[in-house]
Chains A and B, each alone.
Chain A
Amino acid sequence: MMPILQIGPLAIPLPGLLLLAGLWLGLELAERNAHRFGLQASSLYNLTMVMLLAGVAGARLEYALRYPAEFAASPAGLVSLDSGLLDPAGGLAGALIAGLIYGSRKGLAWWPALDAFTPLLTVMGVALALSHLASGTAFGAPADLPWSISLWGARRHPAQLYELLAAALILAVMWPGRKGQITSPPGRYFLTFVALSAGARLFLEAFRGDSQLLPLDLPVGSLRLAQLAAWLALAASLWGLFHLGGPENKGYFDSDATSEPEQHLNQ
């Protein structure tokens, strides 16, 4: 565990730095491969920046609306770098709304855009696992195994390492342009990523020591909320994959497409 990276007088929070690095590398990978999904790199970059800025604003706005008196007394808090005052739900809502509005105005087709984002998401999965390793969060359940690690007062499953391994495997499987990879029809690439990630989370959550449990006692015990959410995501992605059909369906550059990728994809 290494939550702080000390470089001379600078104390840099390593988890945050890892996430930023993941965002940068993932965006670079996505931009380099945007052409495979009929998008221009600049379109993807602009959409990402719009969603990022709107996400941060939404995350902070949610807190400001919930605690108006505190922010009125200390307005500097509105623009502080304190990540603890960023609400994930508000951030996600802000990012999605801004993305929908921006994408609609630019005439971006959604399945190709989601496919083009997928390399970024796969790299962020690895970055998130590394940030968990650095911060000691997402820790494992107590277990006395040869490969257990000592963390937070007990020997535990190295859940962060399991997560890192799964994320790395998903990145390898989803690596853009990998031989034999199926990316048609539009949407299949993204939904495959969602299915793999949901499946991994569903499996690995069983080894976590910080699971939030459903407040319902069943004969088998208490169900883990993250597993239930992952099952729903898995079901939705498999339904989507079934609905999209197989690779024989129309892809990005079929014979009846125009020669201009973005004209073909703008709807």
Chain B
Amino acid sequence: MKFRFSNRVIIYIAILIVAALWILASAAAPGSTTIGRIPAPQAGFLAPEISLPTASGEIIRLSDLRGHPVLVNFWASWCPPCRAEMPAIQQVYQSLQSHGVVVLSVNAANQDDRAQAAEFIRSLGLKFPIVFDEAGQASAAYALHSLPSSFFIDSEGVIRDVVVGGMSEAALSIRLHRLLGETGGAASP
């Protein structure tokens, strides 16, 4: 039996062989594609450090929360979507705190009024840690473009999801459950 290959078949086969060779030539060294060691406010990167004071002056560092899934949420008292989503954050925090989830709430104090922020916290009955970014360093490190902005960080300190805008309770809960699912949960800090 004779086989005759048309020019077209030869060209197609050549294309596939060259493509396969390119795949081999461009293979990556294990761990070389970006995931996790450079700090940057983007999913897949190490979460930039936050070191800010609470209202009582206690310093909270994001790196001290390593080992726990963390939600970092930036907000301001003048921001209506921030106000709308805070009860959901409080609710989810209450239900998942025992599973090791931490909420680190960052008030964009460099663009907010401290007294109004305090009233905001009091009126909504917020119980999670809240720090104040007076100098705007955290806002800059997280390339804040809009409020609210939320960063979902896994127990190894890597950002897994970035959400700009308010979220529903379901959206918050699902994202935190995804983080818990990856980590298997952890004791409360």
Please measure, in the bound complex, the distance between the C-alpha atom of A137 and the C-alpha atom of B40, giving whole angstroms. Answer: 12
Assess the B38–A206 pair: CB atoms within 8 A: no
If A4-B164, A136-B42 touch, whether A231 touches B23 (CB-CB below 8 Å) is: yes
- A-chain residues with CB within 8 Å of residue B167 when the two chains form the complex: 80, 82
If A70-B170, A76-B170, A242-B9 touch, whether A224 touches B23 (CB-CB below 8 Å) is: yes
Nearest-CB residue, chain B, relative to A202: B19
Q: Which of B27, B171, B175 contacts A224 (CB 8 A)?
A: B27
Taking the closest CB of chain A, its distance from the CB of B167, in whole angstroms, is: 6
- B-chain residues with CB within 8 Å of residue A70 when the two chains form the complex: 169-170, 173-174, 177
Map CB proximity to B onto A32-71 as digits: 1 under 8 Å, 0 otherwise.
Answer: 0000000000000000000000000000000100010011
Which A65-124 residues have a C-beta within 8 angstroms of B? 67, 70-71, 73-74, 76-78, 80, 82, 84-85
Is A154 on the interface with B (CB-CB < 8 A)? Answer: yes
- A-chain residues with CB within 8 Å of residue B171 when the two chains form the complex: 77, 80, 82, 84-85
Assess the B145–A3 pair: CB atoms within 8 A: yes
Q: Which of A73, A153, A221 contacts B38 (CB 8 A)?
A: A153
- Interface SS majority for chain A: mixed
Taking the closest CB of chain B, its distance from the CB of A68, in whole angstroms, is: 10
If A199-B19, A231-B16 touch, whether A213 touches B170 (CB-CB below 8 Å) is: no
Q: Which of B40, B145, B163, B164 contacts A152 (CB 8 A)?
A: B40
Nearest-CB residue, chain A, relative to B169: A74
Assess the B168–A82 pair: CB atoms within 8 A: yes
- Interface SS majority for chain B: mixed
Assess the A63–B174 pair: CB atoms within 8 A: yes
Taking the closest CB of chain B, its distance from the CB of A233, in whole angstroms, is: 11
Is A7 on the interface with B (CB-CB < 8 A)? Answer: no
Assess the A3–B38 pair: CB atoms within 8 A: no
Query: Which of B29-37, B62-70, B114-122, B126-134 is the contact stretch?
Result: B29-37
Assess the B169–A73 pair: CB atoms within 8 A: yes
Is A260 on the interface with B (CB-CB < 8 A)? Answer: no
Nearest-CB residue, chain B, relative to A80: B168
Is B165 on the interface with A (CB-CB < 8 A)? Answer: yes
Assess the B29–A153 pair: CB atoms within 8 A: no
Assess the B28–A74 pair: CB atoms within 8 A: no
Assess the B174–A67 pair: CB atoms within 8 A: yes
Is A228 on the interface with B (CB-CB < 8 A)? Answer: yes
Nearest-CB residue, chain A, relative to B80: A9
- B-chain residues with CB within 8 Å of residue A3 when the two chains form the complex: 145, 164
Taking the closest CB of chain A, its distance from the CB of B8, in whole angstroms, is: 6
Assess the A4–B145 pair: CB atoms within 8 A: yes
Taking the closest CB of chain A, its distance from the CB of B6, in whole angstroms, is: 8
Contacts A/B (CB < 8 Å), 24 sampled: A67-B174, A71-B170, A74-B169, A76-B168, A80-B168, A84-B163, A84-B175, A85-B174, A141-B33, A141-B34, A152-B34, A152-B42, A153-B38, A154-B38, A203-B22, A205-B26, A209-B33, A210-B33, A212-B33, A213-B28, A220-B27, A231-B16, A234-B15, A241-B12
Which 8 residue pairs of A and B lie closest in terms of their CB atoms, listed nearest first?
A77-B170, A206-B26, A221-B27, A74-B169, A74-B170, A152-B40, A4-B145, A11-B146
Starting from the known contacts A67-B174, A224-B23, A241-B12, 6 additional A-B residue pairs (CB-CB under 8 Å) come to: A4-B145, A218-B27, A221-B28, A222-B29, A234-B19, A239-B12
